[in-house]
Structures are given as C-alpha cells and as structure tokens.
Structure 1
Amino acid sequence: MTYLEKLHPWCIVRLLPNMQRIVVGRFRRRNDAIAHCQALQKLVPHAAYTIIFDVGQPQVENKK
C-alpha cells in the first residue's frame, strides 16, 4: 500500500460477478465517499457499489 493510499483509506468498490471487484475511488473522509457513492448510484443505477475502510496489509520484513 502506497503512502497516498494510506492517506485515503475510504474506498468505493464496484461489485462484479464471480466475487470480483473494482476500486472506483479513494477518499480521506467517509462523508466524501458516501456522497460520491450516492452520485454514482444515480448515474449507474444497475451497478452495485459499497464503501469500505481499507486498512491495507502490514508489511513483513524478512530477517536473515
């Protein structure tokens, strides 16, 4: 996870068939993500969107 992605943890995800997904947008604040998601649902009513908080994966250091 890049530094920019850490600054924008709220994600709008479009749900696709066969358990696939696409991250549509990343936001700093949950309210911004909700407002954008509502606009997307009005523009594309047949698509399914959800909002998630992306905590990322902890980086593991290899010690020898």
Structure 2
Amino acid sequence: MSYRDEIRPWAIFQYLPNGNNICVARLRTRTDADAYASILRLGGGKFEVMFDHQEEVTQS
C-alpha cells in the first residue's frame, strides 16, 4: 500500500452487477467519505464506505 493510500484509509467501493466491486475513491475522514458516497448514490448504483487500512508486515 502506498503512502498516499495509507493517509486515506476510508474507501468508497462500487458494487457492480457482475458481483465484482471497485474502489472509486479514497478519503482521509469518514465524514468526507459518507458525503461523497451520498453524492455518488444520486446517480444510481450501490456504493459502500469501508475502512480499508492495512498494516505493513515487518519481518523480524
């Protein structure tokens, strides 16, 4: 995960009819993600906000 993705842990995923999903945006705060997802939902489609933070694995 890149540094840019690390500082934007809130992701908006769009669920597609074929069963796949795609990350359409990554934001820093939950409030921003919820607001942006509500705007996306106006156009139709199913969008979900998820916390997508992945910790780096360190080898000892």
Q: Distance in 2 between matches of 1:38 and 1:18?
A: 22
Q: Distance in 1 between matches of 2:11 and 2:20?
A: 15
Q: Who wins on radius of gyration, i.e. which is larger? A: 1
C-alpha displacement of 1:56? 2.1
- TM-score using structure 1 length: 0.80
* Partner AA of 2:57 in structure 1: Q
Deviations 1:15-64 (A, max 9, x none): 0134311101000000000000111111x12x100000002264364x8x
| Percent of aligned pairs sharing the same letter | 32
Quote the residue 1:30 is aligned against. Answer: 30
- TM-score using structure 2 length: 0.85
Which 5+ residue runs of structure 2 have no aligned equivalent? none
